Amino acid sequence: MSSFRIPAFLRPRRSFYRLRSFHLSPEEAAAHVKEATPQVPMGDTTSHSLTRSRETVRPRRLSSLRPANLVIPLRGSTIVTLAIISSLFFIMSISFAFIGADVDEPFFKHTLDDVATNSPGIVLIGESVDVDVDEPSITIRWSILGCGDGFVLAGSEGVHGSNTCGLPSSPLYIFVDNADEPAATYDPSQIPFNRDTGHRRSIQNLVQFDSDHVLDVHEQRLYPFDSYLLASTLRAVSFDNQTVPIRKIATIDITSSFDIETVDMDSYSTFSDGKEQASRDIDMRVNRPNEARCFTLLLFGVSWILTHVTIGHVMLARRLSGMRPILKHLISTGAILVAIPQLRNSMPDAPGLDGALIDCIGFFPQMVITSISVIILLMFLAIREFDLIGQPELPSPPPPLPHNRVTSALSTRSRPPPSPTEKSGSMEIKQYEMYRLMKHLKGQYVFPPVQPSHRLQPSDHSKPAHRRVKTMSKIMEAGEVSHWSDGE
């Protein structure tokens, strides 16, 4: 039965009280012993003395009720109840991670306030970054904003928590990677008003646009330590073909599967007529988060452990002779063969089976080894089956006859020799006397008691050399051996 041990710091330290008098002098030690020992005055038979003696005895009785070694046994139902309470407490504790996740200030607020204070102008915010490693490509959703006096459309302030930034006040064309056609067209005259509040509505298709980019995939094979690079340039042009400088480009830095690092810089382009057009470039680096790498490596290790287990099944099945034990190992190995692909698919945002390094040293060898183990176990099973077919059938033993348990138990014991009668021979008498003597030497009850009257007396030299052997009838007549009943 399970038990609960009380911590040592909660136990009474009796050994300290027994040994604390070592530092005292003999007189002081005797005084302490005298104070600890209850004394009853001589001749005092009043109820007051009896009450005092009972009070001194009560604590000792209570202390005797403590469990031995301060270990409290726990029942099975108590253990299950404690396990359920612990599980619920753990689930509730983890659920608190969702509380307050959106309490922080908007992610881009500090960046927008800084632009509005130091360098007012057009700002592009990458609010969504979708990385597709199978293509491989990346899609960014941009929001067109204006920060500072003269760049904000009236009634649109307060975007991303910044009161100094909002929708641009002038129409714009946005070109991505110097394309011939603009990727987005922004016209403030198309932005509707809210009739109740009078503020501008932020319609996504009117103030946002998407841009697709091709990723650099030189390190794609190193999953989960793969990284991707992106370099792009963007420029803004007004409807009258005047370049509008972009003061800032920023993107989110965390997605569900990747960490994103973005660095922006000023740039310009020179055309054939010698004109320069200002633009803004970004360098983006996409990496796996540490949590995703940790879970991927754990699943990788678990898959290899299961693969090693299949090898152990083969080694154990080789030493077995029956079919049923081998069948158990075969079922376990087959379950592992089905589980390994599921573990591979559980890896966070894993690439396809395109020859990544983690598959070359993990998934593919694991599937090969596990499949070979299943084949070997099937061969063992077939060999045992053929061995059983080739063996001749042995005749089955006859069924045991029904009998009483008490009778069978008595039959297995050795029965004592029968009591001697007048017709018993000397050998039967010896056996019976030996049986009674052995019981007497073992300390068992013998009735009538063993008497040394029947032992042979030392020979008398005065008598003739030969002595006469007494018959059983004469021995019984002389009273040297008592008459025993047959039922003893």
Compute the average pLDDT of residues 35-58. Answer: 49
Q: Are residues 196 and 336 in the same domain?
A: no
Q: Say what the pLDDT of residue 434 is.
A: 85
Is pLDDT above 70 for 310?
yes
Q: Are residues 318 and 430 in the same domain?
A: no
- Host domain of residue 376: 293-389
Q: Are residues 166 and 29 in the same domain?
A: no
Q: Are residues 255 and 116 in the same domain?
A: yes
Q: Which residue in this structure is represented by tokens 């030969």?
A: 466
Kindly indicate the confidence band of residue 46, based on its pLDDT and cuts at 50, 70 and 90: very low
Which among 389, 411, 436 is the end of a domain? Answer: 389
Over the stretch 169-192, which tens digit does the pLDDT of each residue have?
A: 999 999 999 888 999 999 988 888
Alpha helices in 319-363 (DSSP H): 323-345, 357-358
Q: Is residue 251 part of a domain?
A: yes
Q: Is residue 427 part of a domain?
A: yes
Over the stretch 396-426, which tens digit does the pLDDT of each residue have?
A: 666 665 555 544 444 445 677 777 777 777 8
Q: Helices 323-345 & 290-318, crossing angle to 10 degrees?
A: 170
Q: Is residue 407 part of a domain?
A: no
Q: Is residue 98 part of a domain?
A: no
Name the domain count of the chain: 4
Q: Say what the pLDDT of residue 485 is.
A: 44
Q: Are residues 335 and 385 in the same domain?
A: yes
**How many other CB atoms sit within 10 Å of the CB of residue 432?**
17
Contact 157/165 with Cβ under 8 angstroms?
yes
The CATH number that applies at residue 187 is 2.70.170
Maximum CA extent, the chain = 163
Radius of gyration for the chain, computed over Cα atoms and rounded to the nearest angstrom: 50
Which among 389, 406, 433 is the end of a domain? Answer: 389
Is pLDDT above 80 for 297?
yes
- Please give the share of the chain, as a percent, with pLDDT higher than 70: 71
Q: What angle do CA 294, 297, 298 make, to 5 degrees?
A: 85
Q: Are residues 238 and 279 in the same domain?
A: yes
Find how far residue 302's CA is from the centre of its chain. 13
Over the stretch 1-44, which tens digit does the pLDDT of each residue have?
A: 555 555 555 555 554 445 444 555 556 555 555 555 555 444 44
CA distances from 345 to 351, 429, 456 (A): 9, 89, 97
Q: Is residue 131 part of a domain?
A: yes
Q: Is residue 443 part of a domain?
A: yes
Q: Say what the pLDDT of residue 410 is.
A: 44
Q: Are residues 329 and 455 in the same domain?
A: no
Q: Is residue 467 part of a domain?
A: yes
Q: Are residues 230 and 246 in the same domain?
A: yes
State the number of CA atoms in the 13 A half-sphere of 379 facing the CB. 8
Min mean pLDDT across 68-82, 219-233, 401-415 is at 401-415
Q: What is the distance between the alpha carbons of residues 160 and 110, in angstroms, rounded to a whole number?
A: 10
Q: What 3-state DSSP class applies to 254?
A: strand
Q: Are residues 279 and 302 in the same domain?
A: no
Q: Is residue 135 part of a domain?
A: yes
Kindly indicate the confidence band of residue 62, based on its pLDDT and cuts at 50, 70 and 90: very low
Contact 253/262 with Cβ under 8 angstroms?
yes
Q: Are residues 476 and 384 in the same domain?
A: no
Which among 252, 268, 288 is the end of a domain? Answer: 288
Q: Say what the pLDDT of residue 275 is.
A: 81
**Pairing between β-strand 165-166 and β-strand 71-73 as defined by DSSP bridges:** unpaired
Supply the mean pLDDT for the chain: 79
Q: Are residues 149 and 284 in the same domain?
A: yes
Q: What 3-state DSSP class applies to 5?
A: strand
Q: Are residues 190 and 268 in the same domain?
A: yes
Min mean pLDDT across 143-152, 284-293, 308-317, 403-412 is at 403-412
Contact 138/132 with Cβ under 8 angstroms?
yes
**How many other CB atoms sit within 10 Å of the CB of residue 162?**
24
